Amino acid sequence: MKSLQRIFAIVVKELRQLRRDRVTLGMIAGFPIIQLLLFGYAINMDPRNLHAAVADLSATAASRQFVMDVAHSQVVKITQQASSSEELELLLREGKISVGILIPPDYERRLQQPERAAVQLLIDGSDTVIQGAAAQIAGKSRAAPYNDQPPEVEIRTYFNPERRSPVNTVPGLIGIILTMTMILFTAVAIVRERERGNLELLITTPVRTSELMLAKILPYIGIGLIQVSLVLTVGHLLFHVPLRGSLLDAYTVCLVFIIANLSLGLMISTIARSQFQAMQLTFFILLPSILLSGFMFPFAGMPRTAQIIAEVLPMTHFMRLIRGVVLRGADLSDLASELAILGVFIVVAMTFAVLRFAKRLD
């Protein structure tokens, strides 16, 4: 009985403490609901509405029929028209489309020759799920009137024709590693000083808030770049992940992303009251970063709401940037808007952190 009494006392104490820790309390309800929504609603392994462009060089009734059939399949959503295969390749490299549909000028003649491919699909292979989904298009068109066969479709997969998983995962993994470590490093940075009592001393010195914030992120920029180098080197040596763009571009993208994550961490650090809360909030960002950014599941397959949420995560923009540079050989001018978004992110998060952190105890 005495043992029960002691156990009960500890249980009651735990619950009381939990009730007073609002962040943890929020997480208890928040995590299952968010996971449920993400997995049940947002994540779709069978993506629809992949962005596509058509270069219809035939411009005949039959070719238009083919394009309409493909569009009706809802696997792709035709967002652009192109005038050549080169233009389709450029759009693919820039990440503006996942699928290019090239209908040659002699489309109708090819339809009569079932042994020849009538249409060419140019597919962005930097995401294996997209590769699989886009391949479905091949069987989606109605039979041609000439031979009761659907048009023969030739698939050209760009960037990862062998469909090797590491090629797709390694660049994204850089993002996951940086999201996890960089946010966490700075998220606990200020809270730790507060918990250990160092902050009370530090804020009575002439150190300015902006100086403190900058100094808190500077060392981790170097650490982040070391992590990037490790993943790129090991990825290249062990898994033969190519680097199709320039190394300088890859590092520039990573540098901006590192600073964005560190700023986000600092922002968390000015909100969290304990290191435990800071870790929970970091996890709160990490989870959607893994699931919604396009790292694990294709962005195109997600409903609009999930896509909007994903757009406010630095990881989503990083995924587009790093896959663009590493796998598709895009250069930064092709991806300037994504880089600019990360820049805006840094300014907003840093401003928030500096404004929120007062050199006072009340």
Instruction: For residue 154, list its beta bridge partners.
Output: 120
d(CA 250, CA 170): 13
Specify the residue, 10 or 361, whose C-beta has the smaller distance to another protein: 361
Q: Is 196 an interacting residue with respect to another protein (CB under 8 A)?
A: yes
Residue 358 C-beta: closest distance to another protein, Å: 9
Q: At what angle do helices 275-292 and 304-311 cross, to 10 degrees?
A: 130
8 A C-beta contact, residue 226 and residue 192: no
Binders of another protein among residues 53 to 112 (CB under 8 A) are none
Instruction: For residue 78, list its beta bridge partners.
Output: 52
Length of the chain: 362
Cβ-in-10-Å burial (0-12, 13-18, 19+) of 350 comes to: buried
Two tokens, residue 35: 């996971």
> Using alpha carbons only, what angle is made at residue 145 by residues 140 and 151, rounded to the nearest 5 degrees?
40
Residue 206 C-beta: closest distance to another protein, Å: 5
Residues 6+ apart with CB under 8 A from 51: 76, 77, 79, 80, 96, 97, 98, 99, 300
Helix or strand (DSSP H, E) at 346 = helix 336-356
Residue 223 C-beta: closest distance to another protein, Å: 17
How many residues touch another protein under the rule CB under 8 A: the total is 16
Q: Is 200 an interacting residue with respect to another protein (CB under 8 A)?
A: yes
Instruction: For residue 255, list its beta bridge partners.
Output: none
Q: Is 210 an interacting residue with respect to another protein (CB under 8 A)?
A: no
Q: Is 46 an interacting residue with respect to another protein (CB under 8 A)?
A: no
Residue 193 C-beta: closest distance to another protein, Å: 9
Q: Is 356 an interacting residue with respect to another protein (CB under 8 A)?
A: no
Judged by CB under 8 A, the residue of 7, 9, 25, 207 near another protein is 207
Q: Is 360 an interacting residue with respect to another protein (CB under 8 A)?
A: yes
Judged by CB under 8 A, the residue of 83, 198, 210, 233 near another protein is 198
Judged by CB under 8 A, the residue of 40, 139, 145, 206 near another protein is 206
Judged by CB under 8 A, the residue of 5, 10, 61, 204 near another protein is 204
Specify the residue, 145 or 206, whose C-beta has the smaller distance to another protein: 206
Q: Is 33 an interacting residue with respect to another protein (CB under 8 A)?
A: no
Q: Is 20 an interacting residue with respect to another protein (CB under 8 A)?
A: no
Contacts with another protein by CB under 8 A lie at: 196-207, 359-362
